[in-house]
Structures are given as structure tokens and as C-alpha cells.
Structure 1
Amino acid sequence: MIPIPASLHSKSSAHDLKSRLDWGEPALTIIDVRDRSAFNACHIQGAISLTQAELVDRATANLEPMRDIYIYGATDEDTAEAASMLREAGYQNVAELTGGLAGWQANGFPIESTSAVIG
């Protein structure tokens, strides 16, 4: 039996997010704010791409303000800036994914990639 995950924190680890996804009813959105080419090359499985330039406009048009959001960028600083933008726009349930994609991959968690494997 998978334990009920902890509640959303302003800063979350890859393990926190994975636990929430494994629970089976995550009711959350994962946002990647890196540029599109980085997103297209590789991203957390299930993440959506919203660059920082379009983040608030697209989020307010598509996501309920009470939605749980996990967000990550190229660096923890980019992540913090994007999370701050969402919080200022009225989103209260925003978690900064510390370590971003690198932290996620270091744990061997699922990613989506358009990179071809040559071997």
C-alpha cells in the first residue's frame, strides 16, 4: 500500500513529487519553465512547457488558482522566480522542485525525451 503523500510545501524534492504521482490521484500540474528547446530535448514525464515569458498569462487562462503546481526551471533561482510570479498572480499551492530536472533524473525517475539513442 502506498502511503498518502505529505501536503504540498513551498519547496519540494523529487521524492516528494514522485510520492505524490505514485499515490495515484495527484491532482497536480508540473510546469517546466525552461526554454522550449530544452523542454523538447528532455523533461519530467507529464510536465507542460510554459516559459517564464508566458507563464502567468497561460496559467491564469488554463489553471484554477487552487490547483497544486510543481514548477521547475533551468536553475533553482529560475524556479524560485517563476514560483514567485505564480504566487503573485494568486496561485497559493505552488511548490518549487528543488534540483529541477537534474534532481529528478539523479533519482532515476521517468522522463520524456526526443533524443535518439545511438548505439
Structure 2
Amino acid sequence: MPIEPQSDAHVLKSRLEWGEPAFTILDVRDRSTYNDGHIMGAMAMPIEDLVDRASSSLEKSRDIYVYGAGDEQTSQAVNLLRSAGFEHVSELKGGLAAWKAIGGPTELEHHHHHH
């Protein structure tokens, strides 16, 4: 089943909970925003480096869920990936806020941890 061009946070959360391995989550916001908290397991690929980094590290056939600072940045990133030849790319609607709203797991970069 190809993934939808746009995905609801619930769809992604259920895939994570089922432990489906064959997908990647990309955070295209700037690095410092990513460091302040992101979806568990998401890779940081700021939009200006996105195509270069994705092309060198991800298979074109992989399922990729993308979120940015807002829906506009998210759809821009998805369009960049599609034109670079990635076929299975989905916009995560609502991004991190929608993810947090349904209790999806997030993580911080380790050097920000204060105990």
C-alpha cells in the first residue's frame, strides 16, 4: 500500500506502535528547533540541506513522513523530495503540535537534558 500524500498523526503513531521498520520521519525545521524537541526517531534534515542529505542517505522507494515548522514548510519539503525522485513521501499534517496533542513520543537532543 502506498502511503497517503498527507498523513494524520494517528496514522504515523500506529505505525510506530506496530514497530513497522520500513519508514523514516524527517524534521525539516532548523537544527536548533529540532534540538528543542522532535518526534521520536525523526532525523534532522533542515530544508536547505534536505535534498542533498536525503538523496545520499535514503532509498528513493522508502516511505518518508515529513514535518516542518508549519504546513507550508512541510508541503514545500515534500515537493522538493518528490522532484528529487522520492516516490512515497507524506506530509504529516499539523506537524509536531498535532503529534504532541495525541500523546506521540518525542525526544530532545541529549546535550539539552537537565536532571
TM-score by length of 1: 0.89
| Identical residues among aligned pairs (%) | 53
What residue in structure 1 maps to residue 18 of structure 2? 23
**Larger-Rg structure:** 1
- Specify the code of the residue in structure 1 equivalent to 2:22: A
- Specify the code of the residue in structure 2 equivalent to 1:83: V
Structure 1 residues 49-87: Cα deviation after superposition (integer angstroms, max 9, x where no partner): 000110001111111100100000000000000000000
**8 Å CA contact retained: 2:27, 2:66:** yes
Structure 1 residue 88 and structure 2 residue 92: aligned?
no
Aligned partner of 1:66 among 61, 70, 79: 61
Q: By how many angstroms is 1:8 displaced?
A: 1.1
Gaps of 5+ in 2: none
**Distance of 1:48 and 1:64 partners within structure 2:** 14
What residue in structure 2 maps to residue 14 of structure 1? 9
Q: By how many angstroms is 1:26 displaced?
A: 3.1
Gaps of 5+ in 1: 1-5
**8 Å CA contact retained: 2:2, 2:88:** no
Q: By how many angstroms is 1:20 displaced?
A: 1.1
What residue in structure 2 maps to residue 3 of structure 1? none
Query: Helix, strand or coil: the match of 1:9?
Result: coil
TM-score by length of 2: 0.92
Query: Helix, strand or coil: the match of 2:35?
Result: helix
Question: Structure 1 stretches (4+) deviating beyond 6 angstroms?
Answer: none
